[in-house]
Chains A and B, each alone.
Chain A
Amino acid sequence: MQGTVVKQNAQFLRRMKYGKLKRAAGILLSAAVILGSLAGCSGKENESAGNGNTGAAGGESTEGDSGEQGMGRFLEEDVTLPITFSNIYDMKKLEDGTIRIIGNNGDDNTKTVWDSKDSGANWEKAYDAPEELQDEDNGYIDYAALSSDGQSAWVYNQIGDGGIKPILYLVDKEGNGSVIPFELPAAEGEPSAASFSMNVPVDGESSEGSETGQGGESSEGSETGQDGESSEGSETGQGGEPSEGSETGQDGESSEGSETGQGGESSEGSETGRDRIKNLILGVRFLGNDQILVKDMADKIFQISAADGSVKQTYDFSDTEESHQVFAAGSRIVLAASSEVLVYDAETGELQETEEALQKSIGESGFFDAVDTADGGESIYYLTGGGLYHYKFGGSIMEQLVDGSMNSLGAPAFYPIALSMLDEENFLVAANDINSNSPGGMALLKYTWSADTPAKPDKELKVYSLYNNREMRQSISSFQKEHTDVYVNYQVAMSEENGVTVSDALKTLTTEIMAGKGPDLMILDGMPIETYIEKGILKDMSSVFAEGGSYFENILHAYQDSQGQLCAVPARFLIPAAQGGSAYYTPGEDFDTFTSKQGILAKMIPEATVEKFWYSCGAAWQKEDKTLDAAKITEFFTKLKNAYGAYDSSAEDDTTAVSISEGGVVNELQRVSLSWGDFDLAFGRYKVNVGLLSKLDYGMLDAVNRKLENGGYGLMPGQAENVFVPAMVLGISSKAAQPETAEELAAYLFSQEAQKVSQYGGFPVEKEAFKSAIDGHEYAAANTEGLVGVAGGSGVNIDERLDYSLVPTPEEEIQKLTSLVESLAVPALLDDVIKDSVIEQGAKVLREEISPEEAADAMMQKVNIYLAE
Chain B
Amino acid sequence: MMHGTEGHFRIIDGKKKSRNYKTFKDGKKKPKDHGARKNGKKKPRNYGALKDGKKKPKSHGARKRWKGFLWILPSFLGVLVFYLLPYADVVRRSFLGAVDNRFVGLKNYQEIFQNTAFLLAVENTVKFTAACMPVLILMALVCAVALYQSKYGGIIKSAFLMPMALPAVSVALAWRLLFHSQGLVNYWLENLGITGKDWMNTPSAFWILVISYIWKNLGYDIMLWMAGLAGISENIYEAARVDGAGEWKCFWHITLPSLKPSLYTITVLSFLNSFKVFREAYLVAGDYPYESIYMMQHLFNNWFRNFSFDKMAAAAVAESVILLGLILLLQKAWDSGVE
Contact = CB atoms under 8 A, between A and B. Distances in A.
Interface string A512-531: 01100000000000001001
Interface string A828-864: 0000010001000000000000000000001001111
Contact of A734 (B74, B99, B201, B291): B99
A575 B287 CA distance: 30
Interface stretch (B17-25, B297-305, B325-333): B297-305
A536 B304 contact: no
A865 B294 contact: yes
B290 interface: yes
A506 B305 CA distance: 6
Given A503-B287, A869-B117, A535 B294 contact: no
A869 B299 contact: yes
A107 to B, nearest CB: 56
| Residue from the set B99, B100, B307 with the largest chain A CB neighbour count within 10 Å | B307
A862 B307 contact: no
Interface in A491-550: 503, 506-507, 510, 513-514, 528, 531-532, 535-537
Interface in B94-148: 97-100, 115-117, 120
Nearest to B73: A30
Contact of B305 (A26, A30, A510): A510
Q: Which of A734, A858, A862 has the most CB of B within 10 A?
A: A862
A869 B307 contact: no
Contact of B201 (A858, A866, A869): A858
A535 B307 contact: yes
Contact of B290 (A514, A861, A864): A861
A7 B115 CA distance: 73
Contacts of A536: 97-100
A357 B304 CA distance: 44
Interface in B270-312: 286-288, 290-291, 294, 299, 301-309
A869 B306 contact: yes
Interface of A: prevailing SS: helix
A121 interface: no
A866 B305 contact: no
B98 A862 contact: no
Interface residues of A, number: 26
Given A537-B99, A858-B201, A865-B120, A507 B288 contact: no
Contact of A503 (B115, B294, B299, B305): B305
Nearest to A863: B288
Interface in A529-579: 531-532, 535-537
A26 B291 CA distance: 51
A570 to B, nearest CB: 21
B299 to A, nearest CB: 7
Contacts of A869: 115, 117, 299, 302-303, 306, 308
A869 B114 CA distance: 11
A868 interface: yes
Interface residues of B, number: 27
A868 B99 contact: no
Interface string A723-734: 000000000001
A503 B99 contact: no
Nearest to A734: B99
A520 to B, nearest CB: 16
A507 to B, nearest CB: 5
B308 to A, nearest CB: 7
A417 to B, nearest CB: 45
B257 to A, nearest CB: 39
Given A833-B287, A833-B288, A868 B117 contact: yes
A865 B306 contact: no
Most buried by A among B98, B286, B305, B309: B305
B117 A507 contact: no
Contact of B291 (A506, A507, A528, A861): A861
B304 A507 contact: yes
A506 B201 CA distance: 25
Given A858-B201, A865-B120, A528 B306 contact: yes
A860 to B, nearest CB: 10
Interface string B50-71: 0000000000000000000001
Contacts of A864: 116
Given A535-B307, A858-B201, A865 B99 contact: no
Contacts of B304: 507, 510
A734 B309 CA distance: 16
Contacts of B286: 503
Given A506-B305, A537-B307, A866 B99 contact: no
Nearest to B288: A862
A537 B201 CA distance: 34
A828 B129 CA distance: 42
A537 B305 CA distance: 12
A30 B117 contact: no
A536 B306 CA distance: 11
Interface in B147-206: 201
A869 B98 CA distance: 14
A177 B290 CA distance: 76
Contacts of A531: 306-307
Nearest to A34: B74
Contacts of A865: 117, 120, 288, 291, 294
Contacts of B306: 510, 528, 531, 535, 869
A790 to B, nearest CB: 44
Contact of B116 (A503, A861, A868): A868
Contacts of A514: 307, 309
Interface string A627-649: 00000000000000000000000
Contacts of B74: 30
B115 to A, nearest CB: 6
A863 B302 CA distance: 13
Given A30-B74, A865-B120, A865-B288, A535 B98 contact: yes
Which of A503, A513, A528 has most B Cβ within 10 Å?
A: A503
A864 B286 CA distance: 15
A734 B98 CA distance: 13
7 contacts: A510-B306, A513-B307, A837-B288, A858-B201, A862-B291, A869-B115, A869-B303
Given A503-B305, A510-B306, A537-B99, 13 more contacts: A507-B301, A507-B304, A528-B306, A535-B307, A535-B308, A862-B288, A865-B291, A866-B288, A866-B302, A868-B117, A868-B120, A869-B306, A869-B308
Interface of B: 71, 74, 97-100, 115-117, 120, 201, 286-288, 290-291, 294, 299, 301-309
* Pairs of residues from A and B, 3 with the lowest C-beta to C-beta distance, nearest first: A868-B117, A868-B116, A535-B307
